[in-house]
Amino acid sequence: MNITGTDLILACSAIGAGLAVIAGIGPGIGQGIAAGYAANAVGRNPGAKGDIMSTMLLGQAVAETTGLYGLLVAMLLMFVKPLVP
Amino acid sequence: MESAILMETSADNIDFMIHGIFSYELFGHEVWITTSHVCILIIMLVILTFAVIANRKLKHASEVPDGFQNVIELIVEKLDGMVMGTMGPKAGPKFVNYISTVFIFILMSNISGLFGLRPPTADYGTTLALALITFVLIHFTKIKNRSAKFIWEDLCSPLPPWLPLWVPINLISIIAVPISLSLRLFANVLSGTVMMALVYGLLSKIAIIWPAALHVYFDLFSGAIQTYVFCMLTMTYIGQNYEEV
């Protein structure tokens, strides 16, 4: 079985894409912490539920960005294939 | 059996890429009209039609609103409240038109995945253009409202102004603003588009009704949240330049 250089690059790109989406762990933890504190805050002050919800969603959406960078790198490696000559 | 379902529909019918429709020469470069342009045109037509109908309706507005007039007043009131609440009474009235336009355009783009279009915001060109407009607005308002001394002190901010060691790091953080704004919107919408393409491409035999739930999350919920986040961040960045120091 002959493995050419391009095949090797494609295989390594697939491994790299898999490694890149590990970046999703961080935002998962961060969003969980935000949701936990939001639940805590609603328990203390149920009247402010609307404000707490919108603040929580805004913070979570911003925290999600780092995970999406990992996703972008994975998509570039899988579909754009920048390393293949 | 499950693997057989996956095997029969191979990876050939997964399609979420942007397609070129026709190309032309512009100053020696090959430029393509893509599906994103067509989708933007469709969305613009829908928004324009709505605007023309709303304009006709409001020319004969009644004191007690009815039917369609209720809807228009609700939209305008909600957008007004959002912008005024974030930017304050000084900067709010200047930017309410722009922010509302961007909000409606991004929202319509994000939920256009529901109607079988490829969302134009899943094309980096669209979101980068939107973020660059925000970038220009931030610095235009900054130059307009702040003195040169304040801008220089802000640029060297943690250190005193006669020791400009921190300037390169602050410049990087300034340039990071439009990049992170555009990539956030782009990657969120693109991930939704890719997930729906994978569901329809790989599981096409059993994708009967349940993808509707995924559409509600990826197109409606995620799209609305990202629209809100984009407009919110734009408003906070611009509003900073109008606050009292």
pLDDT bin (cut points 50, 70, 90) of residue B2 is very low
Residues of A in contact with B233 (CB under 8 A): 62
CB contact under 8 A, B229 and A68: no
Least confident of A1-5, A9-13, B105-109, B168-172: A1-5
Packing angle between helix A49-75 and helix B222-240, nearest 10 degrees?
Answer: 100
Whether A18 maps to a domain, the answer reads: no
Q: Given B183, B190, B229, which is nearest A61 (Cβ)?
A: B229
Residue of chain A nearest B17, judged by CA positions: A79
Question: Would residue A20 count as lying in a domain?
Answer: no
Q: What is the spatial distance between Cα A73 and Cα A20, in angstroms, rounded to a whole number?
A: 7
Note whether residue A70 is domain-resident. yes
With 70 as the cut, is the pLDDT of residue B3 above it? Answer: no
Least confident of A35-39, A60-64, B78-82: A60-64
The whole-number pLDDT of residue B23 equals 84
- Sort strands B29-34 and B20-26 into parallel, antiparallel or unpaired: antiparallel
Is there a domain that residue A85 lies in?
no
Q: What ipTM was estimated for this complex?
A: 0.79
Chain A with chain B: Cβ pairs closer than 8 A: 35
Q: Is the pLDDT of residue B19 over 90?
A: no
Q: Is residue A68 part of a domain?
A: yes
What per-residue confidence (pLDDT) applies to B10? Answer: 53
Q: How many residues does chain B have?
A: 245
The range of the structural domain enclosing residue A74 comes to: 5-13+25-79
* Per-residue pLDDT band at B97 (split at 50, 70, 90): very high
Contacts of B83 (CB under 8 A, 6+ apart): B92, B95, B96, B99, B100, B235
Nearest to A72 among B17, B183, B225 (CB): B183
The answer to whether residue A69 neighbours chain B at the CB level (below 8 Å) is yes
Average pLDDT over residues B90-105: 92
Are residues A58 and B232, on separate chains, in Cβ contact within 8 Å? yes
Q: Is A58 on the interface with B (CB under 8 A)?
A: yes
Where does the pLDDT of residue B12 fall: very low under 50, low under 70, confident under 90, or very high at 90 and above? low
Q: What is the mean pLDDT of chain B?
A: 87
Distance in angstroms (rounded) separating the CA atoms of residues B223 and B137: 24
Residues of chain B with pLDDT > 90, as a percent, come to 42
Evaluate whether residue A59 is within a structural domain.
Answer: yes
Give chain A positions within 8 Å (CB) of B17. 79
Convert the pLDDT of each residue in B61-77 to its tens digit: 778 888 888 889 999 99
CATH number for the domain that contains residue A41: 1.20.20.10
Question: In a 10 Å sphere around its CB, with 0-12 CB exposed, 13-18 middle and 19+ buried, how is residue B36 labelled?
Answer: buried
B1 pLDDT higher than 50: no
pLDDT by residue (tens digit) across B162-182? 888 889 999 999 999 999 999
Count of structural domains within chain A: 1
Residue A44 lies in a domain: yes
Question: How many helices (H) and strands (E) are present in chain A, helices listed first?
Answer: 3, 0
Is the CB of B184 less than 8 angstroms away from the CB of A65?
A: yes
Give chain B positions within 8 Å (CB) of A68: 183-184, 187-188, 191
Question: Is A73 within a domain?
Answer: yes
Average pLDDT value for chain A: 90
